[in-house]
Amino acid sequence: MKLAAVALLLASVLSVSIGAPVDVIRDLILNFREQMPCGFPDWNLPPLAPFVLDTFKLDTDGIRLQVDDLFLEGLNSFDLEELTFALLQFKLGFHFNFREINLRTKYDLEISNLGIDLGAIGGLNGIAGKGDIDLGVKNLSIAGNLAIQFHSGESQDVTLKQFRVALGLDDIKLKITGLLGDEIVSEFLSDVLVSVVETFVDEMQDFLGDTVENLVIPVVDKLLVNVTYQDIMDLITGKKPFKALETSCTRRREIEFLFGIKH
């Protein structure tokens, strides 16, 4: 059974010209970028450019966080710098560069269990704050590769086998207000967080790669439920084209953004 599946896979792969899959995948990615302002109802994904979230709450293990009026723009500002596709391994190499991503939100935070003793540091028992977060990132580079795996059997399930990335960025700016009720402390901690992020990006790529892979694979596998080997082949050969862009939705989102209309 496995031998038959491998033979079928090889026959299908070898019947496709080498250049065609890359061109089709590039078109899929660029069409995805154009569709981001409208969202993806079939995947239960909301509009992503910009992405707006009214409220998010987290209350667990000594951490209480509420985020309101989150506004994230620039997820569709990426350029596709490089794209490769290894047919026999079903391995996709990619390099995206996000020109500019900006996030603005209000937050209310209380951390009472840090796992460390802050008693010697000004008598602090935890961290609390309520204010605004303004984050800007320029030229965020995401390069890496992913590989999918086909499973034998009647269902012909597809899962994400590998997802490795390396990150880079040119500039990051962060302004947090309201931490510990002191704006000087807020500015200091904002600068510390920027330094931590820059250090992680520069010196801890393996850790970041493992973390991203562990986060991404379960999410993608959920999206791949009911996706079969034939679906993948139809996509990369152009037999199952990406749905046409909803231009009316795009225009509506542009008008809403221009006039500050919120959902």
Give the CATH number of the domain where residue 156 resides. Answer: 3.15.10
CA distances to 35, 36, 38, 204 from 246, in Å: 7, 10, 7, 41
Residue 243 domain-assigned (yes or no): yes
Q: What is the pTM (predicted TM-score) of this model? A: 0.75
pLDDT of the residue at 120: 46
pLDDT tens for each residue of 14-59: 434 345 678 888 988 999 999 999 998 877 889 999 999 999 999 9
Residue 194 domain-assigned (yes or no): yes
Is the CB of residue 150 less than 8 Å from the CB of residue 5? yes
Which residue in 257, 248, 211, 247 sits closest to 74, CA to CA?
257
How many domains, in total, are found in the chain?
1
Range(s) of the domain holding residue 45:
2-257
pLDDT of the residue at 170: 94
pLDDT tens for each residue of 104-127: 999 999 987 655 554 444 445 568
Residue 109 domain-assigned (yes or no): yes
pLDDT of the residue at 12: 45
pLDDT of the residue at 20: 63
pLDDT of the residue at 245: 52
Residue 234 domain-assigned (yes or no): yes
Residue 247 domain-assigned (yes or no): yes
Residue 263 domain-assigned (yes or no): no
Residue 44 domain-assigned (yes or no): yes
pLDDT of the residue at 215: 92
Residue 80 domain-assigned (yes or no): yes
Segments of the chain with pLDDT less than 50: 1-18, 118-123, 251, 255, 257-259, 261-263
